[in-house]
Amino acid sequence: MSICPVEYWIWLQCALGAGAKTDELLAYFGDPEKMYNAGSKEWRMSGLMTEKRINALKSISPSETGGIFRECKAKGYSIITPDSVNYPERFRQMKDMPLVLYVAGDSSVLKDSVSIGVVGTRNASNYGIETAQKLSFALASCGVTIVSGGALGIDSEAHAGAMLAKGRTAAILGCGLSVDYLRENAALRRAITRYGAVISEYAPFTPASRTTFPIRNRLISGMTLGTLVIEAGVKSGSLITANCALEQGRDVFAVPGDIVRSSFDGANHLIKNGAKPVFSAMDILSEYEYLYGDLIDFSKAEIALADIPYTEYRKKKSTNAVKPTEENKVQVQNTKVVKKELNGDYSDEARAVYSILSEKPTHIDDILRKTSLKMSDVLCAITELELMGDIKQTEGKNYSI
């Protein structure tokens, strides 16, 4: 059975690992297929590989990547390599570019011209959370794609802000797409695939580890024109991303923070050392007016952050939750979910969708029929309600409160 070119790219990345040093190898052999066919004798003669690397390359063959293909086909993931139309040119300019990208959602987001990375702490303050969402909302309203890491805190609010503005966003993960990592952010990742994509350099079942995230961070900076740091300590992963941006010749922005709180030390340090301080979306967009002015809607850039609607999408969970016992399990089963009243922060479309939902799962086709809304409006409404924690997706395309 013949082997397709994609399998050779997967072979090389699986053998050497994501983020491996491959520039010299590709320059010498041309591409992974030619490299594989050259064989171990030629690998040794090249003088570019240690015996450990040679053994790693021999430990797997391109024909053994079928499990990855089957998982991607089953889950609807795209496989993007440097041969693909949607492989971003900015990644080609990187040192040791990613050889394979796995994508859930719209892979064209990888090539969006005007994109900004937004990063920061997972344990964000109320100030950091609100700032991340509002700045991302403002940037996305102007046509900017927001790129972040899909984690809790600043990442989540950045993605949420972009989606609430009905803009584009991409999450680059530090694990495989099929790994049940950060289960509480599953709804967020699912929503992101409607407004852009969830992306990983790792094969679908690769678990998260201390080493995967620093490798991932170079992609957030590499995919974007610049990286915005909001609330980050001096030893945070966000500063690793900022340093990657500097090494890649990208811009670095930072939101000034409280000088007596250590969680802002990293962002303040960046400003002290030359990062551009950000007080509005225009502080970022003005840097790209000359090159990308035709792609940016500057009419929305001057809106004051105070005037942007904001609500923290992640509901606070009670720390006094009762552990399940046989007795209270029965009580929970017999307790009816109370349908709350939506406040003034919701769109008309979200209200319309919410009004026809109940505890009983409703299929998206029935939602379309009962609300008479367009599919795009229903998807936006579902995203808004999911982000706010008001509805959940059950099996298939069914939703309930």
Spatial distance between the Cα atoms of 293 and 282, rounded to a whole number of angstroms: 12
Q: Is the pLDDT of residue 195 over 80?
A: yes
Confidence class of residue 336 from pLDDT cuts 50, 70 and 90?
low
How much is the pLDDT for 330? 46
77-113 tens-digit pLDDT: 999 999 999 999 999 999 999 999 999 999 999 999 9
pLDDT (mean) for 253-260: 92
Q: 107-131: per-residue pLDDT in tens?
A: 999 999 999 999 999 999 999 999 9
pLDDT confidence of 261, banded at 50, 70, 90?
confident
What percent of the chain stands above pLDDT 70?
Answer: 92
Proportion of the chain above pLDDT 90, given as a percent = 66
* Cβ atoms within 10 Å of 242's Cβ, excluding its own: 30
322: pLDDT strictly greater than 80 = no
What average pLDDT does the structure give for the chain?
88
Pairing type for strands 392-393 and 398-400 reads antiparallel
**Distance from C-alpha of 5 to C-alpha of 45, rounded to nearest angstrom:** 24
Mean pLDDT of 26-50: 95
Greater pLDDT, 88 or 1 = 88
Tell me what the mean pLDDT of segment 231-244 comes to. 91
- C-beta separation of 164 from 192 below 8 A: no
In this model, does residue 324 exceed pLDDT 60? no
pLDDT value at 338 more than 80? no
Q: What 3 state SS string does the chain have? A: CCCCHHHHHHHHHHHHCCCCCCHHHHHHHCCHHHHHHHHHHHHHHHCCCCHHHHHHHHCCCHHHHHHHHHHHHHHCCEEECCCCCCCCHHHHCCCCCCCCEEEEECHHHHHCCCEEEEEECCCCCHHHHHHHHHHHHHHHHCCCEEEECCCCCHHHHHHHHHHHCCCCEEEEECCCCCCCCCHHHHHHHHHHHHHEEEEECCCCCCCCCCCHHHHHHHHHHHCCCEEEEECCCCCCHHHHHHHHHHHCCCEEEECCCCCCCHHHHHHHHHHHCCCEECCCHHHHHHHHHHHHHHHCCHHHCCCCHHHCCCCCCCCCCCCCCCCCCHHHHHHHHCCCCCCCCCCCCCCHHHHHHHHCCCCCCEEHHHHHHHHCCCHHHHHHHHHHHHHCCCCEECCCCEEEC
Write down the pLDDT at residue 317: 36
Whether 7 has a pLDDT exceeding 50, the answer reads yes
3-state SS record for 32-101? HHHHHHHHHHHHHHHCCCCHHHHHHHHCCCHHHHHHHHHHHHHHCCEEECCCCCCCCHHHHCCCCCCCCE
In angstroms, how far is the first alpha carbon of the chain from the final one? 49
The alpha carbon torsion through 188, 189, 193, 197 (nearest 10 deg) reads 120
Q: Token pair of 277, please?
A: 């301080």
Inter-residue contact 157 to 118 (CB < 8 Å): no
pLDDT for 383 equals: 81
For residue 388, name the pLDDT band (cuts at 50, 70, 90): confident
Position with higher pLDDT, 287 vs 348: 287
Alpha-carbon distances of 177 from 111, 131, 159, 188, rounded to whole Å: 20, 28, 17, 13
Residue 298 class from Cβ within 10 Å (0-12 exposed, 13-18 middle, 19+ buried)? middle
Question: Can you tell me the mean pLDDT for 12-41?
Answer: 95
pLDDT at 235: 84
pLDDT for the residue 311: 64
Among 182-186, 332-336, 337-341, 393-397, the minimum mean pLDDT is found in: 332-336
CA–CA gap between residue 364 and residue 305 (Å, rounded):
34
Task: Say what the pLDDT of residue 84 is.
Answer: 95
Q: For residue 364, give the amino acid letter.
A: I
Quick one: tokens of 10?
């997967």
